[in-house]
């Protein structure tokens, strides 16, 4: 049982002349909490859709706990619970029935399916809505329901595609608590998000995807370490000129002086600061105050993904969930087999 949750090698997807995935290789270890970050149109949903068999790959391989997503589809699919970005639910049936149907589709017997449906509805906090149809749930309850549906098969790999797009603070907190608990109990989690705070808080490791290619895979801390931090020092009296500081230290990027305030930009700011203090002391410059501002994951992200041409799909505004961009996409979410999709 030492198979990684995901083993992806050279995965490609072309939609006509649009290259959505341009040779993605990734390994997600079993038990990890893995983040997939990227601007609108980066290929995140396409990547996930290939894993669950909604989209056919154009090339490369993708394995879920060792099972190829196409040649070993049922095994791979049964290991995954997906809460998709778009709503794709049988709108006219009571939500408990939708869950029972989903469980049945995955081979869970009827008596067990009812028990599980009740348990997951309890878990996401909408048990009292069990007899309501999907259409009549509020937006936040719909998100909760998608999570319940993802959990009904007790999946080893839970995939959440933008789970907190457009949800209120309370739901986001509940969701974070719930997925953290599931991860602690051993469920591997793959999360796509535009909220950097979410990735920073939850993920052990993140991959940054841009224009269908992986730009980086690292822990949030490692990524932050790639950016330069700012050390802001308030001096008792302004020196006549910019002091010569940290001359031989290649972590240093720049030193700027503005009256009493000295701003030093350097990698590993936390380690550079004590050295800086000693040098200022030796130079006879008295320090009144010192502050270290670490680069945020968001700054690193914007830095890594801004080199693109100005095509419609390369918006780097992380805090803006998918919006206008969707209007120039064709519908890209084929319905799940278990969803009747009454329109």
Ligand X SMILES: Nc1ncnc2c1ncn2[C@@H]1O[C@H](COP(=O)(O)OP(=O)(O)OP(=O)(O)O)[C@@H](O)[C@H]1O
The footprint of ligand X (CB under 6 A) covers: 15, 18, 20, 38, 40-46, 85, 313, 322, 325, 329-330, 332
Which residue's Cβ lies closest to ligand X?
332
How open is the CA angle 337-338-340, to the nearest 5 degrees?
90
- Which of ligand X, Mg ion, none is residue 20 near (CB under 5 to 8 Å by kind)? ligand X
Residue nearer to Mg ion on the CB measure, 45 or 211: 45
Q: What is the smallest separation between the CB atom of 122 and ligand X, expressed in angstroms?
A: 30
- Cβ-proximal residues to 267 (8 Å cutoff; 6+ apart), any chain: 225, 226, 227, 228, 229, 251, 253
Q: What is the smallest separation between the CB atom of 330 and ligand X, expressed in angstroms?
A: 5
Q: What is the smallest separation between the CB atom of 209 and ligand X, expressed in angstroms?
A: 7
Q: What is the smallest separation between the CB atom of 322 and Mg ion, expressed in angstroms?
A: 6
Helices (H), 169-311: 169-184, 196-202, 220-225, 269-282, 297-305
Q: What is the smallest separation between the CB atom of 85 and Mg ion, expressed in angstroms?
A: 5
- Which of ligand X, Mg ion, none is residue 42 near (CB under 5 to 8 Å by kind)? ligand X
Residue nearer to ligand X on the CB measure, 203 or 273: 203
- Which of Mg ion, ligand X, none is residue 38 near (CB under 5 to 8 Å by kind)? ligand X
Q: Are strands 33-37 and 261-266 parallel, antiparallel or unpaired?
A: unpaired
Q: Are strands 287-293 and 229-235 parallel, antiparallel or unpaired?
A: antiparallel
Compute the distance between CA of residue 151 and CA of residue 160 in angstroms, rounded to an integer. 11
Paired with 21 in beta bridges are 13
- Which of ligand X, Mg ion, none is residue 227 near (CB under 5 to 8 Å by kind)? none
- Which of Mg ion, ligand X, none is residue 79 near (CB under 5 to 8 Å by kind)? none
Residue 29's CB is within 10 A of a number of other CB atoms, namely 15
Residue nearer to ligand X on the CB measure, 41 or 140: 41
- Which of ligand X, Mg ion, none is residue 15 near (CB under 5 to 8 Å by kind)? ligand X
In the three-class reduction of DSSP (H, G, I as helix; E, B as strand; rest coil), residue 25 is classed as strand
- Which of ligand X, Mg ion, none is residue 332 near (CB under 5 to 8 Å by kind)? ligand X
Residue nearer to ligand X on the CB measure, 85 or 183: 85
Residue nearer to Mg ion on the CB measure, 85 or 164: 85
Q: At what angle do helices 95-105 and 110-123 cross, to 10 degrees?
A: 130
Paired with 192 in beta bridges are 36, 161
In the three-class reduction of DSSP (H, G, I as helix; E, B as strand; rest coil), residue 86 is classed as coil
Q: Which helix (H) or strand (E) holds 206?
A: strand 205-210
Residue nearer to Mg ion on the CB measure, 55 or 95: 55
Joined together, the tokens standing for residue 142 give: 């719909």
Q: What is the smallest separation between the CB atom of 327 and ligand X, expressed in angstroms?
A: 11
Q: What is the smallest separation between the CB atom of 312 and ligand X, expressed in angstroms?
A: 8
Compute the distance between CA of residue 296 and CA of residue 21 in angstroms, rounded to an integer. 27
Residue nearer to ligand X on the CB measure, 47 or 134: 47
Q: Which residue has the tokens 């209007």?
A: 327
Residue nearer to ligand X on the CB measure, 46 or 164: 46
**List of residues contacting Mg ion (CB under 5 A):** 44-45, 85
Tell me 320's DSSP state: S
Q: What is the smallest separation between the CB atom of 332 and Mg ion, expressed in angstroms?
A: 8
Say if CB 134 and CB 89 are below 8 A apart.
yes
């Amino acid at each position: 049982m030492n198979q990684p949750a995901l083993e992806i090698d050279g995965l490609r997807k072309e939609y006509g002349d649009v290259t959505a995935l341009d040779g993605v290789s990734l390994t997600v270890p079993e038990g990890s909490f893995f983040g997939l970050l990227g601007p609108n149109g980066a290929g995140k949903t396409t990547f996930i859709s290939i894993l669950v068999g909604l989209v056919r790959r154009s090339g490369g391989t993708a394995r879920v706990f060792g099972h190829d997503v196409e040649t070993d589809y049922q095994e791979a699919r049964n290991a995954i619970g997906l809460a998709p970005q778009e709503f794709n639910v049988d709108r006219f049936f009571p939500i408990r029935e939708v869950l029972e149907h989903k469980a049945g589709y995955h081979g869970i017997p009827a008596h067990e399916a009812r028990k599980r449906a009740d348990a997951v509805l309890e878990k996401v906090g909408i048990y009292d809505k069990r007899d309501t149809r999907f259409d009549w749930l509020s937006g936040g309850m719909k998100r909760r329901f998608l999570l319940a549906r993802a959990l009904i098969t007790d999946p080893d790999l839970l995939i959440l595609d933008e789970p907190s797009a457009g949800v209120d603070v309370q739901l986001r907190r509940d969701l974070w608590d719930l997925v953290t608990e599931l991860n602690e109990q051993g469920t591997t989690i793959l999360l796509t998000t535009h909220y950097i705070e979410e990735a920073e808080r939850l993920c052990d490791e993140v991959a940054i995807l841009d224009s269908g290619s992986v730009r980086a895979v690292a822990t949030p801390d490692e990524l932050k370490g790639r950016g330069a931090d700012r050390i802001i020092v308030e001096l008792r009296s302004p020196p006549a000129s910019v002091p010569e500081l940290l001359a031989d230290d290649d972590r240093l990027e720049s030193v700027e002086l503005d009256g009493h305030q000295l701003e030093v930009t350097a990698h590993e700011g936390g380690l550079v600061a004590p050295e800086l203090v000693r040098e200022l002391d030796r130079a006879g410059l008295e320090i009144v105050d010192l502050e270290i501002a670490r680069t945020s994951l968001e700054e690193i992200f914007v830095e890594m993904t801004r080199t693109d041409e100005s095509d419609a799909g390369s918006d780097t505004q992380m805090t803006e969930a998918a919006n206008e961009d969707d209007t120039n996409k064709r519908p890209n979410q084929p319905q799940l087999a278990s969803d009747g999709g009454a329109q």
